[in-house]
Structure 1
């Protein structure tokens, strides 16, 4: 199944759903399967397809959290700032898996999202991204974004490995010379 068809399925489900989730901090699961066009030469899920599936999981999260309304109304665009992924096992042809997506925490600029690929109780890969939304007037403040998602709490404490990754990512951004 093409990645666009998977995304269409998420959009259709979101529009048919009458209410968003009551708690956007809870994990959300999208059930998927490894299709032949997801495979690489080693006949397992291609590393790039993991990242594409993560896009779908994040869009599902945004819709379930009720962010699709302000996204369309204010023309907000979700932007990925950085990502990392760790592979543990190979997903094979036609294997079913769940993509579990959850908000791990946030700061003034970024929302950190953890995503796990799970099949038959085993974790096959874990990815983390930092995202923001941008509108016509620039970046949407995290506080505004979270308000629309029904989150008015302080950020949970980020897992240490995500905080370390974010620090390393910021250092990398300073290392790259400005052109």
Structure 2
């Protein structure tokens, strides 16, 4: 239930009062680990991270000035893969930020890095690979960049993303039916 409240708060208040960032800028949204977000081990449960990340990416689009435009175009973001590294747990009632930024793209996917931080402590770092779809068809990356108004140089993907991409390709190849 608290995620619905957070979504409502995000869509009807936060996106109307957010700051403006560039397409490659870092978006930051703050949350608190509520008791219902925590598990029996008394820390933020693993399943809550992706749900909060969805909200943070939506907020990132709003800060970029793209949320209304993409909704109008009926573009829906789809996560293709995510890779989590948990470093320090987030205790109940701890306030933390989720920092989200686009780190690059290739011919098919865009890549987002999301960090859970409180103060100087890094709790979790996540890489997300995704696309936008419209009418069950993928929106081409050049079209997305054009709508975003981005005409700068393409950033080089970080080495960990390149290795992750190779791992995902290997995983797909090894598990396809013969």
TM-score by length of 1: 0.91
Query: Secondary structure of the residue that 2:100 maps to in structure 1?
Result: strand
Q: Kindly report the root-mean-square deviation, in angstroms, between the aligned alpha carbons of the 2 structures.
A: 1.9
**Distance in structure 1 (CA, Å) of the matches to 2:136 and 2:98:** 33
Report the 3-state secondary structure (helix = DSSP H, G, I; strand = E; otherwise coil) of the residue aligned with 1:10.
Answer: helix
Take 2:32 and 2:135, find their aligned partners in 1: how far apart are those partners? 37
Indicate the residue corresponding to 2:70 in structure 1: 71
Q: Residue by residue, what CA displacement relative to the aligned partner does 1:25-74 show, whole Å, maximum 9, x if unpaired?
A: 11000000000111111010001111111111111112222222332222
Aligned equivalents of 2:101, 2:57: Cα separation in 1:
9
**Equivalent position of 1:93 in the other structure:** 92
Does 2:136 correspond to 1:120? Answer: no
CA shift at 1:176, angstroms?
Answer: 1.8
- Structure 2: which 5+ runs fail to align? none
Structure 1 contact 100–116 (Cα < 8 Å) conserved? yes
Q: Which runs of 4+ in 1 moved over 3 A?
A: none
Q: Does the 8 A contact of 1:66 with 1:148 survive in 2? A: no
TM-score when normalising by structure 2:
0.92
Provide the residue aligned with 1:53 in structure 2. 52
Q: Distance in 1 between matches of 2:61 and 2:23?
A: 9
Q: 1:73 to 1:45 in 2, by over 3 A?
A: same
Q: Mean Cα displacement is larger for which, 93-102 or 59-68? A: 59-68
Cα shift at 1:15: 4.7
1:1-179 counterparts in 2 under 5 A?
2-13=2-13, 15-17=15-17, 21-136=20-135, 138-178=137-177
